[in-house]
Amino acid sequence: MKFPKQHTLKEIASLIDVTFIGDANFPVLGMNEIHVVEPGDIVFVDHPKYYDKALNSAATIVLINKEVACPEGKALLISDDPFRDFNKLTKHFKPFQPALSSIADSAKIGKNTIIQPNCFIGNNVVIGDNCIIHSNVTIYDDSIIGNHVNIHAGTILGASAFYYKNRPEGFDPLISGGRVVIKDHVDIGALCTIDRGVTGDTTIGEGSKLDNQIQIGHDTIVGKKCLIASQTGIAGCVIIEDEVTIWGQVGVKSGITLAKGTVLYAQSGLGHSTNENTTYFGSPASEARERFKEMAYIKQIPKIIEQLKNK
């Protein structure tokens, strides 16, 4: 998430009432999670296990809960609770805006696009040309939808990320300030839910087709010409490359990559990255041909036992 204008390190430190290490005029351009940070971004880290990863990331400002040596060319914001203060920044730069109508005045809707009754279209939403948005679709603030997109009834774009910190008093949500971006020629079935990015974008690539009742988590990237069948659940921060096929009731773990041309057979549970043009099956999923061989061998066990008994 980029800020509307450049800020200084001192200004950001004042906003969240923390100390800083570095030039007071050090430029701050935005804030992001570690997997999408760029120079000028703030990244937060609150566990020693991830200090090195954050300090060595592309981010040039690190919001951290310990005074450490500041890497050259970077700056630090020292906080007793980086998670809380990252949320403060999100609230400041991307505050919640209540809706004043079912289709916000700031929404931009393209030529020949049809919006069916009972839809909600939030602030700053952009919808391209020749789209059909069927009844009871909800499109949260800042979502971007391309041309020739069909979205079927009951689908929700832009709900918050399922991302919490476990505190003694309960679960504390990481506030979502990102977007959902739907590229051209995408079809989205009924009752799908696509969560917005925490600070970046959750993206559905050009020409991809989603069946009914699919969940896609925050910051996941779906490539071009992908097919995803019903009741599939994809966690956050997954990268799905082009021309991937996912059949029904598949579960995909967060933070992995599905390489181009991957096929996942129905009811598989995938917990690792895949190889290009390879088919997987099972839970935990493995290469389909090997899994089918294993299943065939297992069927032979009763016969083998019977043969041993008769010796």
Contacts of 246 (CB under 8 A, 6+ apart): 226, 227, 228, 229, 232, 234, 240, 252, 258, 263, 264
92 assigned to active site: no
- Which residue type sits at 228? I
Place of tokens 């089918």: 292
The active-site residue, picked from 7, 152, 185, 218, is: 218
CA separation for the pair 79, 85 (Å, rounded): 8
Give the containing element (helix H, strand E) for 298: helix 288-299
Contacts of 41 (CB under 8 A, 6+ apart): 29, 30, 31, 32, 58, 59, 60, 61
Asked if residues 49 and 34 have their Cβ atoms less than 8 Å apart, the reply is no
The catalytic site residues sit at 218
